[in-house]
Amino acid sequence: MRAGARHAAAATTAISSAGIDNAEVLRIRSQFPALDQEVNGKPLIYLDSGATSQNPFPVIEAERAFYQERNAAVHRGAHTLAVEATEAFEEARQSVAQFVGAAENEIVWVSNATEAINALSYAFSNATLWAARKRGGAELAPFLLGPGDEIVVTEMEHHANLIPWQELAFRTGARLRHIPVSASGTLQMDEARSLIGSRTRLVAFTHASNVLGTINPVDQLVSMAREVGALTVLDACQSAPHMALNLHQLNVDFAVFSGHKMLAPTGIGVLYGRNELLNALPPFLTGGSMITTVTMEQAHYLPAPQRFEAGTQRISQAVALAAAVKYLDSIGMERIHQWESKLGRRLIEGLITIDGVGIVGPGAGEPRLGLAAFDVAGVHPHDVGQYLDEMGIAVRVGHHCAQPLHRRLGLTATTRASTYLYNTTDDIDTFLEAVAGVRSYFRA
């Protein structure tokens, strides 16, 4: 092991088996250099991890060390650097697979979850084309779509888990249907049972809403899909960073998540698929490194995951993602989830006491992520965000790539505060104090 790798590994030693407290959070935060700064003359309080998280030193070091010590193309050269790069690349796959309870050959590298869902969407289209051209047999059957078939999503989906399925329905003639959201911000499961039926071929849903904070009943949705022979796609972007995840136990067919929401750099994400499904699914991107043989007339493709990894890969980013999941594991995902649940309750309980502030999603005491989206009467969310930024508090404003959900809620936009393992209860209290001053500042 080289010096850089030793440094990164040493920094991720397990901290404690007890619950997280503010003192531990302050020790954790000291490893995040971006958080050690002032914004507008105030100490930065970063409450936008639902969009992009910050990076600890071990993750930064892992990517730096790769470029400094073993930068080379993977699965190509036979020289020392190429071998070391390939080993680091595949070891990263092993680490990430273990983190989410999957097998190594079920983890496909992508740039982000949006790319992963689009890759799936177009792979389904290719399956239909392959079957029409008799380029495949019975293994393509689970992916075939046409008029009369149905794709089911939910009303709370991020656009990335909605638009690709809209387009797939358009390309194949299938019908897109959605499970509605209740006034309390949960899925109407009675409606789900009536929607998921004999014509359903695919059910795509988020594990946890990036707006509502709602944690969906994966087991029930998967069971409904299984009963009718439909495939399932899980958007785990908001769950993989914050909850212990075991994809085999969840029994989903496919899942996606992005590294930049879980302490890793941008430009790296994961497509998970059950191995037998990935090996049957036609690739979307084609080119080098994903083939067995090529003639001037046709090509034959490698088994998964390589069949979906055409061209030069995101090598340093994958290595950094592996460092990120090791860092999270060293602290403990259950501990992180418990701490963020505490912060989430503090957010909700505080916001509902502020005059003129309305939250969306489950109320205090209900299971939810450590985030809160809210509306301030008489003040546009962008103005709220700018006011908080003046206080050194970073939040997200807008529709959060969930326009249909906001329309259902009767809103055009909201302000969202989202926590992570580096936030303290003092961060929440300072944020709440700032929100309490918004309406008077704008004379609303």
Same domain, 307 and 362: no
Grade residue 73 by pLDDT with cuts at 50, 70 and 90: very high
The mean-pLDDT minimum among 8-17, 30-39, 96-105, 237-246 falls in: 8-17
Q: Which two tokens stand for residue 405?
A: 């959900």
- What pLDDT, in 10s, does the model give residues 286-322? 999 899 999 999 999 999 999 999 999 999 999 999 9
What is the distance between the alpha carbons of residues 212 and 189, in angstroms, rounded to a whole number?
A: 16
Same domain, 210 and 257: yes
Same domain, 269 and 353: no
Same domain, 358 and 423: yes
Same domain, 399 and 309: no
- CATH label of the domain that carries residue 306: 3.40.640.10
> Which parts of 155-204 fold into alpha helices (H)?
163-172, 189-195
What is the distance between the alpha carbons of residues 54 and 265, in angstroms, rounded to a whole number?
A: 9
- What pLDDT, in 10s, does the model give residues 78-94? 899 999 999 999 999 99
- CATH label of the domain that carries residue 348: 3.90.1150.10
pLDDT for 17: 63
Same domain, 237 and 194: yes
User: Is the model's pLDDT at 1 over the cut of 80?
Assistant: no
Strands 42-43 and 38-39: antiparallel
CA of 20: how far to CAs of 11, 16, 131, 239, 364, in Å? 18, 8, 53, 19, 21
CB proximity list for 443: less than 8 A, separation 6 or greater: none
Same domain, 306 and 363: no
User: Is the model's pLDDT at 2 over the cut of 80?
Assistant: no
Catalytic residues: 401
Distance of CA 299 to the CA centre of its chain: 33
Q: How many CB atoms lie within 10 A of CB 226?
A: 15
Domain that holds residue 245: 87-328
The mean-pLDDT minimum among 5-9, 33-37, 164-168, 221-225 falls in: 5-9
| Last residue of one domain, picked from the residues 328, 362, 384 | 328
Contact 179, 188 (CB under 8 A): yes
Average pLDDT over residues 386-413: 97
What is the distance between the alpha carbons of residues 54 and 28, in angstroms, rounded to a whole number?
A: 12
Distance of CA 438 to the CA centre of its chain: 31
pLDDT for 305: 96
Mean pLDDT of the chain: 94
- What pLDDT, in 10s, does the model give residues 376-392? 999 999 999 999 999 99
Write down the number of H helices and E strands in the chain: 16, 17
Same domain, 311 and 337: no
| Last residue of one domain, picked from the residues 328, 356, 383 | 328
Q: Between vectors from CA 83 to CA 79 and to CA 87, what angle results, nearest 5°?
A: 175
Radius of gyration of the chain (CA): 23
User: Is the model's pLDDT at 15 over the cut of 70?
Assistant: no
pLDDT for 365: 79
User: Is the model's pLDDT at 8 over the cut of 90?
Assistant: no
CB proximity list for 278: less than 8 A, separation 6 or greater: 105, 106, 108, 304, 305, 307, 308
Q: How many CB atoms lie within 10 A of CB 147?
A: 8
Report if residue 56 sits inside a domain: no
Average pLDDT over residues 362-366: 82
Same domain, 288 and 379: no
pLDDT for 189: 97
User: Is the model's pLDDT at 9 over the cut of 60?
Assistant: no
Provide the percentage of residues in the chain whose pLDDT is more than 70: 96
Quote the number of domains for the chain.
2
Same domain, 234 and 337: no
Same domain, 252 and 108: yes
| Last residue of one domain, picked from the residues 328, 355, 380 | 328
Q: b/e for 333-344, b at 16 or more Cβ within 10 A?
A: bebbbebbbbbb
Grade residue 5 by pLDDT with cuts at 50, 70 and 90: very low
Grade residue 95 by pLDDT with cuts at 50, 70 and 90: very high
What is the distance between the alpha carbons of residues 169 and 150, in angstroms, rounded to a whole number?
A: 8
